[in-house]
Amino acid sequence: MTNAAERMDQGVGGSFEDVYNRTYRRMIRLAHVMTGSNDLAEEVVQDAFVGLYRRFDGVGDPDGYLYRSVTNACKSRYRRKQVTDRLTRLRAVVAVDPPDIDETWTALQRLSPRRRAAVALRYYADLSIDDIADILGCRPATVRSLLHRALADLKELIVR
């Protein structure tokens, strides 16, 4: 017996349309509470329903699937917004002339964005490891690792 047939036997509603009609407003309210935006809430819920539609025959608990999808998507968007806000604040902090272009600057540009950010925050902005971890949204051990690898990469790029 398929999951859709099992849902019918349990009286939950077997078709995708039944689930949509029964849960749409509830999911919109949940997403709105989590995001604070009607537009974003509708977008998140629509994405969750698209995901459910693609897997509908294999999902045993469509309500649970929707709750998890909507909650995870809202948290993900919140984290993304936090990172964007942090980067915007960093860009606004200092408005200076670009440094003189030299081999160090060229080598810095070849680092990955995450490693370059760690180096810039540590050695240019003179921030502590804990502050950098907070800005990058990671643990202090990750920052130390990023710095170690970035410095090794820079050494190799400059010595060449």
Residues 47-92 pLDDT 10s: 999 999 999 999 989 998 999 899 889 888 888 888 887 777 776 6
Provide the 3-class DSSP secondary structure of residue 156: helix
The total of other beta-carbon atoms located within 10 Å of residue 115's CB is 21
Is the model's pLDDT at 160 over the cut of 60?
yes
* 158 vs 160: CA distance, rounded Å: 6
Which positions ≥6 away from 144 have C-beta within 8 Å?
A: 129
What pLDDT was estimated at residue 11? 45
Structure pTM?
Answer: 0.49
Question: ∠ CA(104), CA(132), CA(117), 5° rounding?
Answer: 35
R_g over Cα of the chain: 24
Is the model's pLDDT at 12 over the cut of 90?
no
- What count of Cα atoms within 13 Å lies in the side-chain half-sphere of residue 110? 15
Size (the chain), residues = 160
- The residue among 65, 23, 60 whose CA lies nearest residue 48 is 65
Residue 40 contacts residue 77 (beta carbons within 8 Å): yes
The total of other beta-carbon atoms located within 10 Å of residue 46's CB is 14
Which positions ≥6 away from 150 have C-beta within 8 Å?
A: 111, 115, 116, 118, 119
What pLDDT was estimated at residue 104? 75
pLDDT tens-digit series, residues 114-149: 888 888 888 877 788 998 898 888 999 999 999 999
What does the DSSP 8-state code read for residue 120?
Answer: I
- With the C-alpha atoms ordered 26, 31, 37, 43, is the resulting torsion angle positive or negative? negative
What pLDDT was estimated at residue 101? 59
Burial profile 83-96: b = 16 or more Cβ within 10 angstroms, e = fewer: eeeeeeeeeeeeee
